[in-house]
C-alpha cells in the first residue's frame, strides 16, 4: 500500500502550514482497495462544525493545491493528481455519524 502511506505522509506534511485557527486536527486517506494511486480521497478533519465551515470557505482550494503539489513531489503519477479528491468534515460530524468506521464508509 505504497500509495496509502505516501498519501498519508503528503497530508501530514501540509497540516502544519494550514492556519491553526481552522483547528485541523487530523485527516483520513481513503485509497483504492487494489492499491492504485488514482482516485484517492483525503478528508481534512476539523475539531468543530464552525472550523469546518471556515476551512471549506477559506482554505479548501489552497489545501487541495498544496496536497497535490506534495504528492507530485513524492512521485505520484499525473493520473493520481488529476483524480485526487478532497473534502472536509469535523469531529462532531464523525461522532454524530457513529465514529470513524461508520462515517467514512
**pLDDT digits over 14-31, tens only?**
777 777 777 888 999 998
* pLDDT > 70? residue 6: yes
C-alpha cell at 37: 494511486
Give the per-residue pLDDT at 24: 87
Across the chain, mean pLDDT equals 89
User: Where are the chain's structural domains?
Assistant: 2-103
Give the span between the Cα atoms of 23 and 88, in whole angstroms.
12
**pLDDT-derived band at 87, boundaries 50, 70, 90:** very high
* pLDDT > 90? residue 12: no
Q: Which fold has domain 2-103?
A: GMP Synthetase; Chain A, domain 3 (3.30.300)
* pLDDT > 60? residue 1: no
Q: Which strands sit side by side in the sheet containing 24-30, from one edge to the other? A: 24-30, 41-46, 85-90
Amino acid at each position: 500500500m505504497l500509495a496509502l502511506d505516501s498519501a498519508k505522509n503528503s497530508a501530514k506534511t501540509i497540516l502544519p502550514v494550514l492556519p491553526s485557527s481552522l483547528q485541523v486536527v487530523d485527516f483520513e486517506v481513503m485509497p483504492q482497495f487494489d492499491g492504485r494511486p488514482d482516485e484517492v480521497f483525503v478528508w481534512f478533519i476539523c475539531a468543530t462544525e464552525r472550523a469546518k465551515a471556515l476551512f471549506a470557505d477559506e482554505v479548501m482550494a489552497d489545501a487541495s493545491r498544496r496536497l497535490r503539489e506534495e504528492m507530485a513531489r513524492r512521485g505520484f503519477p499525473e493520473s493520481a493528481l488529476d483524480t485526487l479528491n478532497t473534502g472536509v468534515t469535523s469531529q462532531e460530524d464523525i461522532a454524530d455519524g457513529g465514529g470513524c468506521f461508520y462515517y467514512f464508509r
